[in-house]
Amino acid sequence: MEVPNQCPHCTNDHCIRSVPLFASLEPDAVHALTDQMEHKSYQKGEILVREGDTATGFTVIRQGSAKAYRTSADGREQILYIFPANDYYGARFLFTEEKVPYTVEALEETHVCILSKAQFSLLLEKHSSIALQIIEAMANRMSRLETAMQSMGGRNADLRIASLLLEFKEPYGRYNGSHLEITLPLSREGLANYLGLARETLSRKLVQFEEEGLIELIGQKVVRILDLERLADLSVLVD
Amino acid sequence: MEVPNQCPHCTNDHCIRSVPLFASLEPDAVHALTDQMEHKSYQKGEILVREGDTATGFTVIRQGSAKAYRTSADGREQILYIFPANDYYGARFLFTEEKVPYTVEALEETHVCILSKAQFSLLLEKHSSIALQIIEAMANRMSRLETAMQSMGGRNADLRIASLLLEFKEPYGRYNGSHLEITLPLSREGLANYLGLARETLSRKLVQFEEEGLIELIGQKVVRILDLERLADLSVLVD
DNA sequence: TTTCTACTGTGATTGAAATCACAAATTGAG
DNA sequence: CTCAATTTGTGATTTCAATCACAGTAGAAA
């Protein structure tokens, strides 16, 4: 149920300018880009692109958010990335791979702008600074993957969960008074699929963390961090 | 015990030309580069760079091989990468991070060439094609990290080990007659640290694989693959 | 060769997380 | 608001891998 329409957020330049990747472009380049992009909308649960498809274009999430995951032979869903608004995906597999390496699914109502492979290549040629920014963005994702790998190689669930909370501190945390509160972007099931744990284990560990005074659960989407230091000790971060 | 010396392999142009990243450079650019690079040698077990150090330069492994790992609070060593000859590391953390994200340790006698951050930046400016090749190389590493994440999120050790064997098929496998044989680049302990498993579990699983007719162990460094198909079924790869 | 040191395999046991099963709570649609 | 559907928590149980302990093996050095 893709609804190709004129994305109201994209008919003016603001759209692209709020995407860090394009922040360095001059106004008329932004204008040109805006015209070329294709706009689509998705409801929660709809698939933006499916693992194994031939590469679509470079896709910017204008509004909403999405998860990227792979499905294993046993049916398990391993979430690899969570893309918040203004993030993008698809730069990488325009360069190397023919096939899309993961399924991307909307976590809520989501609007995206798509630039075709050809247009994206042209953009890269004209504005070489964008290549450097892509390298930088890729570097950040690699950092995260490396930390995830370390955390998933660990021996206990506490480590994974503590590392997850610290990872989410940046993008999803904010201070409410003096307390850091993280608004979880996924359901328990989703978090479990991100961590490679059973949902039940995650539930139990979270209440255990609460009993130990590490966190406080507020509703089921918000976690208040009570003891960041002890959480960091549990996590993968050394020193 | 770094032994800065004139690396015999680097005083002529061949050195750099066999590194895919620099394959596209013209002869005199190669010449200029060669002069700028610093050469070092390490014995097995020596540390090339340590996690948390301030970034050294872009480093090319001329001869030998190395492992990159992080150490967790509990002392566990999670291996993130294995760098074979002609591979390189350090491009990424010249862009973004100040601190080196992992320790690199020689797996055997190893010779490297190092390009300083400043020189590397200059190179990038002059030869924009190198930026694209770096993106491509990063894309490949990301692919591997994503697969690793999927495999480590899995529920059993068989999956991890089968995925490892398939991963090693490319770089370390070769056909001996009609049989595919993989020469393992690490000890059991090392492999276990790569997989996030206990050494004992890996040992047991390998003999189990052998009993089931999936593989045949030849000495302790070579694995002959007897049933690639069934191995793939066990692994993370779907279809 | 012999000796020493590393690495590797294997049994016994423990333990942590997966699974199974279901109840409680929350959400959302009508 | 009500009711169904989805999500979440929690107990009981099982299972698989970690750990502990040690013996066998290979490899390097003397």
Tokens 């070092």 belong to B40
pLDDT in tens, chain B (239 residues): 444 444 455 555 566 777 888 888 888 888 888 888 999 999 999 999 999 999 889 999 999 999 999 999 888 999 999 999 999 999 988 887 679 999 999 999 999 999 998 999 898 888 888 888 899 999 999 999 999 999 999 999 999 999 999 999 999 999 999 999 999 999 999 999 999 999 999 999 999 999 999 999 999 999 999 999 999 999 988 76
A181-204 average pLDDT score? 98
Cβ contact B89:B138 at 8 Å: no
Within 7 Å: CB of B158 and strand D? yes
pLDDT number for residue A232: 96
Determine which of A77, A135, A237 to mutate to test the interface with B (most B C-beta atoms within 10 Å).
Answer: A135
Are the Cβ atoms of A145 and B146 closer than 8 angstroms?
yes
Q: Which residues of A touch B70 (CB under 8 A)?
A: 146, 150, 236, 238
CB-hemisphere CA count at 13 Å for A164?
Answer: 28
pLDDT band at A4; cut points 50, 70, 90: very low
pTM of the full predicted structure?
Answer: 0.93
Strands lying side by side in the sheet with A179-183: A173-176, A179-183, A222-225, A215-218
Asked, colleague to colleague, whether A14-151 and A155-234 share their fold, the answer is: no
DSSP-assigned letter for residue A114:
E
Q: What span, in angstroms and rounded, lies between the C-alpha atoms of A60 and A56?
A: 12
Architecture of domain A155-234: Orthogonal Bundle (1.10)
Q: What span, in angstroms and rounded, lies between the C-alpha atoms of A148 and A167?
A: 9
pLDDT number for residue A50: 95
Q: Is pLDDT at A31 greater than 50 in this prediction?
A: yes
Q: Which residues of A touch B149 (CB under 8 A)?
A: 78, 80, 145, 148-149, 152
Q: Which residues of A touch B102 (CB under 8 A)?
A: 146
B154-234, which class in CATH?
mainly alpha
Task: Spell out the residues 6+ positions from residue B239 whose beta carbon is closer than 8 angstroms to its own.
Answer: A52
N residues, chain A: 239
Within 7 Å: CB of A201 and strand C? yes
Mean pLDDT, all residues of chain A = 90
A140 close contact with B: CB closer than 8 A: yes
The yes or no reply on domain B14-151 and CATH 3.40.50.1950 is: no
Range ranked top by mean pLDDT from A42-51, A130-139, B13-22, B119-128: A42-51
Within 7 Å: CB of A199 and strand D? yes
Q: What span, in angstroms and rounded, lies between the C-alpha atoms of A197 and A187?
A: 13
pLDDT band at A9; cut points 50, 70, 90: low
End-to-end CA distance of chain B: 48
Q: Is pLDDT at A15 greater than 80 in this prediction?
A: no
pLDDT number for residue B132: 86
Tokens describing residue A6:
């004129």
- Kindly tell me the sign of the dihedral angle through the C-alpha atoms of A24, A144, B72, B1: negative
Domain residue ranges of chain B, discontinuous segments joined by + = 14-151, 154-234
For residues B73, B78, B84 and B88, what is the CA-based torsion angle, rounded to 10 degrees?
-50
pLDDT number for residue B1: 44
Are the Cβ atoms of B78 and A153 closer than 8 angstroms?
yes
Q: How many CB pairs under 8 A join A and B?
A: 142
